Amino acid sequence: MDSGSDSDGAPEELTAVQGVEKHEEISKVEKDSAVRATQEEKDRRKRWAQRKTSSKPNKKKPLKVEDKDTEVDEETHAMPGTLPKSVIEMLAAREKYVYRLQTARHLNPF
């Protein structure tokens, strides 16, 4: 038989010092592997998040359309959601007119 054969002999015998060194070496390799795996996972999630966020704004980005022909008066758009002052004045004038017509008919039905 070949004396260098690993398959038929007893396991490798180590001294206590060699065992501690071997254990430290294995622990270091395992720790490095765990750190590398964690870093790779972080990088993968970061790339995924960048792809996810970079693709959304381009698809749903609203287009700004500026109308240069219409001048915006600060007074007409004092509060968002309200009508411009000119429209309010027109409606008030119409309401006064209708009120006067109704009052005149009520006082003079014929």
Query: Does the model's pTM come out above 0.85?
Result: no
Same domain for 81 and 105?
yes
Tens of pLDDT, residues 67-101:
554 555 555 456 777 888 888 899 999 999 988 88
Tens of pLDDT, residues 6-16:
566 667 787 88
Structural domain contains residue 70 = no
Same domain for 90 and 56?
no
Structural domain contains residue 104 = yes
Question: How far is 51 from 58, CA to CA, in rounded Å?
Answer: 12
Check residue 55 and report its DSSP letter. Answer: H
pLDDT of residue 6: 55
Same domain for 27 and 50?
yes
- Two tokens, residue 4: 């260098």
Give the position of tokens 């007119």: 97
How many independent structural domains does the chain possess?
2
CB 22 within 8 A of CB 14: yes
Residue 84's nearest CA partner among 93, 74, 94 is 74
Domain extent at residue 56 = 14-61
Structural domain contains residue 52 = yes
pLDDT of residue 69: 47
Tens of pLDDT, residues 41-66:
999 999 999 888 876 555 555 556 55
